[in-house]
Chains A and B, each alone.
Chain A
Amino acid sequence: MTMITAPELEIAVLVLGMAILLVEAFAAKIDKRVLAFVGIAGLALVLVASFFVTPGSSTSQATGFWSFYTADRLSIFFKQFSLVTTIFVLILMTDYAPVLRSSFPGATLQAGLGEFFALPIFTCVGLMYLVSAIDFVFIFVSLELVTISFYVLVSFTRRNPITLEAGTKYLVLSALSTAFLVYGIAWIFGVTGQTNLQQIADALANPATDRNAALFGMVLILVALGFKIAAVPFQIWVPDVYQGAPTPVTAYLSVGSKAAGFVVLLRVLEPFLALPQTQRLIVVIALLTLIYGNLAALPQANLKRLLAYSSIAHAGYLLIGVACFDASAIGFYLVAYLLMTLLSFAVLIIVAQQTGEQIDDFDGLAKRSPFLAFAMLIGMISLAGVPFTAGFLGKFFIFYAAILQHQTALVVTGVITVGCGFYYYLKVIRAMYWQSSARVDKIPVNGLSRLAISALIIATIWLGVYPQPILDALKR
C-alpha cells in the first residue's frame, strides 16, 4: 500500500469540492441532495484515509513547503476534527434544505442548493490548511479561505432581512479583524524579520529583539483571533450572526471556525510564552468571556441565541485552557464541544421546522418525540457539565490544568459560571419535559438524521466514560 501524506488529504477534499461544483453546474436535472450525499461519502473516505497518515515532526530547519506546513499529530487530529464537523454539517444541511427552498420565493425548486452543499467543503479545506499552518502568511491565506466561504454561507438565505443583517455584520467585522491580523503580522515581521513561527520564537529569544513591539503585534493578532473564537470584548457580532445565519451554518461557525481559531491561537502564542504579559492578558480575557457569556445567556428565550451566548461561555472555558497552555485539555474540550453542539443544533433544526426556535417551542417535546427530547437532554446536560458526558470531562481537564497552575481567579469564576450554565441549559430540559403543549402530533425524523443523532448521543456518553482514545490521539 502506498503511503498517504498529509497535503494529499487537502487536495482530495479540494478536488471533491470542485467536482461537486462542476456536476452542479452541468447536471441541472438531478436531485441536488445527491450532491450532499456524494460530499458526505467523499469526506468520509478522506477521513478514513487520514488515519493512515504518519504524523511528522516540525523542525525549524524545514524548508520550502514544509516551512509553512506541518503534519504533526495535533494537526492531523484537527484535520480529522474538521472532516467530522463538515460531514455532520452536511447532514444537517440536507435536513435544512426545505427551509432553504422556501426562502427563495419564485425561484425553481432547487435553486441555490448546489452551492449550499459545495461551499462547506471548501471551508473544510481552509480549516484543514489552517490547523497545519506554522507560517503567518499561510495562516492568513487559509483563514481567508475559511472566512470568505463563510461570508456566502452566512447570508445564504438573503431574502430574509435577519439573515442579511447577519451577513453584513459578519462581513464587516470579519474584514475588520482581518485588518488587525495583517497589521499584527506586519509588526511582528518588522521586529523579527520572520513569518515562520519557529523562527519568530528563536528571534524573540535573542535579547536584541524589541520585545514591546513584538508584544504589540501579538496583541493585534489576539484581537483578530478573538473575533474568530468569540472572546470578550470581540464577541459583539456573535448573537446576531448566529441567530440570523441558516442553522447548519451557525453550527459550523460555532464548531469549525472556533476550533480552528483555538488551534491557531495555541500555535501563535507559543513563541510569545516567554513573555509574562501574555499569560496575564489571556487570563483577563478568559475571565471577561466567562462572565459575559454566562450572564448574557441567562435571560435568553430564543434557543439559537442561547446557543450563541453559550458558545461565548464555552470559549471562556477553552481560554482557561489557553491561559494554562494545556493543548490536550483544549483538544478534548473541543471534541466534546463538537459533539454536544452539533447534537443540539441537529435537534434544533428538526424541531424549528415544526414549531420554531424559541425555547417555548420545545414545550412538550418529550411527548411529541421522545427520541429528539432525549437527544436534546443529552446535549444540554453535556453542555452544562454533568458527569458521564463528554462535556463534564472537558471541564474536568480544564479545571485540573487551572488548579495545577494555581489560577485561583479562573477556577472560582469558572465554578460560579458553571452554576449559571446549569440554569440556562436546564431551561430547555424544563420546556421539553415539564411543560405541556397544545400540539401532540409526532415529529418525523428521517433515517440519516436519526443515525447521525444516535451517533452523536453515543459518542457523547462514550467519551464521558472512556476518554482514552482522544487523550491518546492528542499526545504530542
Chain B
Amino acid sequence: MVLFIIFCPIMAAILIMAGAPARKTALAGSILAFAAALFLLVSFDRVQHDFQHVTSFTISPEWHLSFTTGIDGLSLVMILLATIVTLAAIWFAGTIERYESAFYACLLFISGGAIGAFASIDLFFFYAFHELALIPTFLLIGIWGSGNRVAAAWKITIYLAIGSFILLLGLILLYQSFPASTRSLDIRALTAAAALGQIGADAQRHVYLLLLIGFGILISLFPFHTWAPEAYASAPAPAAMLHAGVLKKFGLYGLLRLALPLLPEGSRHWAGLLVVLLLGNIIYVGLVTIAQKRLDWMLGYSSVMHMGYIFLGVASATILSTTGAVVLMFAHGLSIALLFALAGELRKRTDTLVFDELGGLAKVMPFASLAFGFGVFAAIGLPGLANFAGEIMIFFGAFKNGWEMDRFHIFQIATVLALWGVVISTVYMLRAYRKTFMGALSDRWKEIVDLRFSLRLPIVVLIGALLCYGFFPQSLVQTVAPVLRTYLTEQHPPSASTQRGGNNIQQIAWR
C-alpha cells in the first residue's frame, strides 16, 4: 500500500512523459494517492509505535542497503499532508500553454519524491527520494516562473544542491559513527543501536551540526533562508504549494526522525545555537516580512518565518513540543499551500501582486477573499484552525523545557520572544489582507471574475482539513505522540517526560 502511494505520482509522471494526456493522468494519479493515504489513515493501528505496512527489497547486503518502506504515525501524517497538497496543487494547475506534459511530470516528481522520502525506512532512499525534487523545481521555476525567474531558479538549485551534499556527508558520518557490527542504513536498526548508547557523544555533536546545516538549508533556517522568498515568489503557484507546503517539511521530518532518537547529546549541545537561529527566523525574518511590498514575497518570507516556531518545538525536545511541531508542520503545509494557490490565481487575473496596486478585490472576488481570510487566520494562529493547536503545544512544551523555579532558562526566553512573533505575523498578514481585499476597488480590476467552481473544490478541501484538525487535533496527536514518546523516553528518565496535568492541551496529548 505504501509502495502504491509512492509510485502513483511517479508512474503518472512516467506515463505523462510517454504521451498520456497530462492533466487527466496527473489528476488520476494524485486522487489515487490521496485515496490510498486515507485508507492508510483509517487502517492505521495507533496503539503500535513501530513501523507498519513494511515492505523490503534487499539491494546490497554488504552495505545493509535495502529499499525498505513503511509508515509509523509520524510518516503517516506527513504522507497525508503530501497527498492533500499534491491533489490541490495538481487540481489548481489547470491548462498550461507551454510543455504541458513536462509541467505535470515535474509536479508529480516533486510529490513522489517527497512521499518516498517520508515513507523510506532506509537512509539511502530517505536521502535519495528528497533529491528527486531538485531538477523538477529548477525546471518549474525556470520555464514557467515569473518575475526574476532565472536568478531564483539558479539560487534555489545551487543552495539546495550544496545543502543536500552537506546532508549526505552528515548521513555518511552518522553511518560510520556506529561500530562496524551495527552499521546499517536501516533507520530502525540505527535507532535500536543508538538506544544502547553505541554512538559516541563527540560523533553526535559533529553529525548533528552537519544535519542541522544540511536540513536547515532545505527548511530555510536563518541565515540560510535567502533562497526561499525569491524562489517562492517566482515559482508557478502549484510548484510553490508543493515546495513550501510539503518538501520543506521533509527537513523538519528528517530532524525529528534522525536527530531526536539518534543524537540526543548532539541536540543538547547545539540547542543554544539553534535557539538563536530560530529566533532569527521568527523576529528578524518576521520584521523583514512586514517590510514587503508584494504579496508573493510576503508569503515567501512568512513561510520562512513560521519555520522558526517549528524549530522551537523540535529544539526543545519535549514530547508536547515535538508533537506540536508535527501538528504545526501539517497545518502550515495546508495553510501556505492555500495562500500560494490564491496568490497564484490573483496573479493570473491582475498580473501584479504589488500591494499598492491592489485593493478592494473582495467586491469582485468574494469567494477568494473568504478563502484567503481563512488562510490568513490560520497563519496567524487563530483558535479553530489547525495551526493554533500546533503553536500552543509548541509554546507550552518549549516553556516547560529546562524550567526551574528561580531562573529563566534559554527556552523560556525563546518562548517569550517567539510569542511576539505571533504579533508580528498578525501585523503583516492582516495588512496584506487589507491592502489586497479591502478598501476602494480600482477601475482596473472591475472586470475580474471570482474563482470558477472547479477551482473552489481544492480550496474547500484545504480549508476543510484545516478546520477539521483545528477542532479535533487529538486525532493527529494520537497518531504522532506514540512515536515521539518512544524517541524521547528512550534516553530520558520517565519522570522528566511525564507531565503533571493542568491544562487541556496536555491532557489531549497524553490520552
Contact = CB atoms under 8 A, between A and B. Distances in A.
Given A366-B99, A419-B161, A471-B62, A381 B169 contact: no
Interface string A363-379: 00010000000100100
A416 B158 CA distance: 10
Contacts of A419: 158, 161-162, 165
A381 B142 contact: no
Contacts of A19: none
B176 interface: yes
Contacts of B59: 465-468
A411 interface: yes
- Max chain B Cβ within 10 angstroms of own Cβ: one of A386, A396, A426, A465: A426
A386 B135 contact: yes
Interface in B91-130: 99, 102, 127-129
Given A433-B139, A467-B60, A468-B59, A418 B176 contact: no
Nearest to B60: A468
Interface in A417-445: 418-419, 422-423, 426, 429-430, 433-434
Interface residues of A, number: 32
B142 A403 contact: no
A151 interface: no
Interface string A227-261: 00000000000000000000000000000000000
A416 B169 CA distance: 12
Contacts of B60: 467-468, 471
Contact of B131 (A386, A403, A423): A386
Tell me which of B99, B128, B132 has the highest count of chain A C-beta atoms within 10 A of its own C-beta: B128
A96 interface: no
B134 interface: yes
Contact of B172 (A400, A418, A426, A471): A400
Nearest to A432: B139
Contacts of A423: 154, 158
A68 interface: no
A403 B157 contact: no
Contacts of B438: none
A309 interface: no
Given A387-B132, A403-B169, A429-B138, A416 B62 contact: no
A396 B169 CA distance: 9
A415 B172 CA distance: 13
A416 B162 CA distance: 7
Contacts of A385: 165
Contact of A433 (B128, B131, B143, B166): B143
B168 interface: yes
A392 B154 contact: no
A415 B158 CA distance: 12
Contact of B142 (A386, A399, A415, A433): A433
B132 A388 contact: yes
Contacts of B102: 366, 433
Contact of B176 (A384, A392, A403, A465): A403
B364 interface: no
Contacts of B132: 387-388
B173 interface: yes
B62 A415 contact: no
Interface in B27-71: 59-60, 62
B166 A403 contact: no
B178 to A, nearest CB: 13
B59 to A, nearest CB: 6
A388 B169 contact: no
A415 B165 contact: yes
Nearest to A414: B165
Contact of A418 (B17, B128, B161): B161
Contacts of B168: 396, 399
B128 A430 contact: no
A426 B128 contact: no
Interface in B59-95: 59-60, 62
Interface in A383-407: 384-388, 392, 396, 399-400, 403-404
A388 B59 CA distance: 13
A466 B58 CA distance: 10
A468 B62 CA distance: 9
A388 B143 CA distance: 24
A385 B172 CA distance: 16
Interface in A452-466: 465-466
Contacts of A466: 59
B439 to A, nearest CB: 38
Nearest to B160: A422
B158 to A, nearest CB: 6
A418 to B, nearest CB: 5
B138 A399 contact: no
Interface string B156-195: 0110011001101100110010000000000000000000
Nearest to B127: A387
B7 to A, nearest CB: 13
A422 B157 contact: yes
B172 A422 contact: no
Interface string B135-154: 10011001100000000001
Interface of A: 366, 374, 377, 381, 384-388, 392, 396, 399-400, 403-404, 411, 415-416, 418-419, 422-423, 426, 429-430, 433-434, 465-468, 471
8 contacts: A384-B161, A386-B131, A387-B131, A396-B172, A415-B165, A430-B138, A434-B139, A434-B142
Interface of B: 17, 59-60, 62, 99, 102, 127-129, 131-132, 134-135, 138-139, 142-143, 154, 157-158, 161-162, 165-166, 168-169, 172-173, 176
Closest 6 CB pairs of A and B: A387-B128, A419-B162, A422-B161, A387-B131, A434-B142, A415-B165
